[in-house]
Amino acid sequence: MIVPDNIDSANSNGEKQVFRHFKTDINAKHFIILHSLFISKHLTRVSGELDFLVLAPGLGIFALEVKHGKVSRDGGIWKFENRDGKVNTSTIGPFRQVSDTMHSLRSYLLELAGDHAKLKTKINKLLFGWGVMFTGLEEFNDYGPEAESWQLFTRSGFRAPASHYIESLSRGFHHKYSDKIWYNVNDSRPSKKDCEVIFKLLRGDFSYNYTHLNQILDEEDLIDHFTEEQFETLSFMDYNDRVLIQGGAGTGKTIMATEWFQRNVNQGLKVGLLCFNKKLGHKLKSELSKVIDLSATNSYVGNLHSFMMTLTKLVPPKVNQEPFYSTDLPLETMYALEELTAEEKFDLLIIDESQDLLTESYLDVFDIMLKGGLNNGKWVFFGDFCNQLIYLDNPSSVLDILASKAAFIKVPPLRINCRNSKKIVLFNHTTTGCEKQSSPEGMLEGEKVEHYFPIKSKQVEKVVEIIEDLTSKGIPESKITLLSCKSAKNSLMLQSVELKNHINNGLVFSTIHAYKGLQNSFVIATEFEELESDHSTSLLYVSISRAKLKFYLVLDKGLENSYNQLLSMRINQTS
């Protein structure tokens, strides 16, 4: 649990990266992590700054100082350069700063314990430690006598779960203090209850209303985390210039794409992160802008068509758009890119949703925008070539086209689903016949998938009923997505006043096509015309795999027999 569940835009890029690192680590789910917004409000009596406080059951209590800019130490003087290039100096280093703050915090907790003798005794025996996270440096060795190497975190630490660093601090401090008179091998390790009591002391109250919404937010923190499989793949990418990474929905392809973008931009490379879906492009740009100042780099994040239209200043026609996007726009883009020098091209190209972009014309665009071209340049393509080919038909021919342009390495397909609950993964496999994915240890079982077959005139009513049941439990409309096989102008859903009100309050309405690459806690899919075609199977697969916690399927009564026959066929195929 991280308190609060958001981080202010004014925080440093390093603090934002650390916040996200903890938030996406399933092994840190039982930690209570307090960051600067909580600390500045509740710990005004603690001297010094404190970026993160980690209450880790079985490990200890740890204060963390984050330094993101350039750091150096010269003749006992520490120099810190912030994101604006301003250099501050101090005779007191970051390890001494956070150590002093940690000791002040411990004294403050004893004061808050008041006359509770048992609580004071417990706090006196608990292990308190500290560390410094140099998030912008690959290595830092000049820390002097203030610290041990295991108290240090550098950028390489992001390649492992955040909990690994806390475990390292715990091992180091328990060994360091093992001969102290106050130390006890059992009592110095806080229990879950000890951590909760300390949190309540710092919070200033003794009640915490764990609502249904809090539960949802905590469950979401267990999803979208890095798996060991993904870390191994990222390490593999370090040693190969051209890599194709395949995996089904939910296996973390987009997470890896953004992580690879951050790592390489922070090393000074000009990187293009491109995708097919416009909404996904906006989301990627919004999220990466929170941790990287994109305007200060020459890199680009967004969907390919927006990139090409910005470059060429072309506007799509109102009718007959297919030739524009498939032929005219790529051709004009290549003419514009021919004017670029080698230094103006991308050092690295990262393509998400590549299964929708591997056409001859788009590959020609990639070839000319990348330094060294596709055959000699550095690129990583992420794609699902088995289940999400909505726009292109033949997966083998798509990959043949890429192979004709460049030699590359194919990584073994990702098979661990870190987005959907176990029940959603199983339902997708049973319903669409997609390959059965594994779930990481600790993944949620989730709630049962619900499906309904109202008559056509009652479909909207059923969808509204589901939405209002969710909102009555305190779930915000923004956590709910309604997906339709039909466009907005053809959908019956948007003829409903009730649904329009929910949309105005934050509910997401989208076609299934336009929601590829995105996700939400609760997803409702509806307005399928048929279930027999491969195209419908792909749409069903995409819609199911968008749901993190619960999925609802609302089909016309006339499709009930088709649905039951589909399930029977899939079960026979997999038995």
Kindly state the tokens that stand for 261.
């973008």
Kindly state the tokens that stand for 524.
């409702």
Q: What is the pLDDT of residue 206?
A: 33
CB 284 within 8 A of CB 254: yes
Say whether the peptide bond before residue 412 is cis (omega within 30 degrees of 0).
no
DSSP, collapsed to helix, strand or coil, labels residue 486 as: coil
The predicted model scores a pTM of 0.62
Strands 71-74 and 77-81: antiparallel
Q: What is the pLDDT of residue 160?
A: 87
In the structure, what pLDDT confidence band is assigned to residue 574 with cuts at 50, 70 and 90? low
What is the amino acid identity at position 406?
Answer: A
CB 370 within 8 A of CB 274: no
- The position carrying tokens 């079982």 is 445
Higher pLDDT, 106 or 369: 369
Mean pLDDT of the chain: 85
Q: What is the pLDDT of residue 543?
A: 96
Question: Distance (Å, rounded) from C-alpha 395 to C-alpha 251?
Answer: 19
Kindly state the tokens that stand for 84.
């604006």
Strands 480-484 and 87-90: unpaired
Q: What is the pLDDT of residue 491?
A: 92
Per residue in 45-65, pLDDT (tens digit) is 455 567 899 999 999 999 999
pLDDT, mean of residues 295-321: 92
Per residue in 467-498, pLDDT (tens digit) is 999 999 888 999 999 999 998 888 999 999 99
- The position carrying tokens 């048992």 is 118
Q: What is the pLDDT of residue 205?
A: 36
Residues 6+ away with beta carbon under 8 Å from 89: 77, 78, 79, 80
Question: Distance (Å, rounded) from C-alpha 388 to C-alpha 356?
Answer: 8
> What spatial distance separates the first Cα and last Cα of the chain, rounded to whole Å?
40
Nearest to 364 by CA among 396, 395, 336: 336
Q: What is the pLDDT of residue 41?
A: 46
Per residue in 544-555, pLDDT (tens digit) is 999 999 999 999
Query: CATH topology for 228-410?
Result: Rossmann fold (3.40.50)
Q: What is the pLDDT of residue 293?
A: 81
Question: Distance (Å, rounded) from C-alpha 330 to C-alpha 124?
Answer: 68
Q: What is the pLDDT of residue 259?
A: 85
β-bridge mates for residue 79, sequence order: 72, 89
pLDDT, mean of residues 441-470: 90
pLDDT, mean of residues 356-371: 93
Tell the CATH superfamily of the 422-574 domain.
Answer: P-loop containing nucleotide triphosphate hydrolases (3.40.50.300)
CB 127 within 8 A of CB 177: yes
Higher pLDDT, 222 or 499: 499
pLDDT, mean of residues 182-201: 90
CB 23 within 8 A of CB 1: no
In the structure, what pLDDT confidence band is assigned to residue 203 with cuts at 50, 70 and 90? low
- The yes-or-no verdict on residue 449 having pLDDT over 80 is yes
Per residue in 332-360, pLDDT (tens digit) is 999 999 988 888 999 999 999 998 898 89
Number of Cβ atoms within 10 Å of the Cβ of 211: 11
DSSP, collapsed to helix, strand or coil, labels residue 138 as: coil
- The yes-or-no verdict on residue 43 having pLDDT over 60 is no
pLDDT, mean of residues 448-474: 94
pLDDT, mean of residues 248-255: 87
Q: What is the pLDDT of residue 163?
A: 93
Domain ranges of the chain: 2-208, 228-410, 422-574
Q: How far is CA 102 from CA 47, 48, 53, 105, 512, in A?
A: 9, 9, 9, 5, 50
CB 457 within 8 A of CB 557: no
Least confident of 381-390, 452-461, 480-489: 381-390
- The yes-or-no verdict on residue 174 having pLDDT over 60 is yes
- The yes-or-no verdict on residue 37 having pLDDT over 70 is no
pLDDT, mean of residues 316-326: 89
Q: How far is CA 75 from CA 79, 90, 95, 143, in A?
A: 11, 11, 16, 12
Q: What is the pLDDT of residue 394?
A: 61
CB 528 within 8 A of CB 485: yes
Q: What percent of the chain has pLDDT over 70?
A: 87
CB 206 within 8 A of CB 200: yes
Q: What is the pLDDT of residue 86?
A: 76
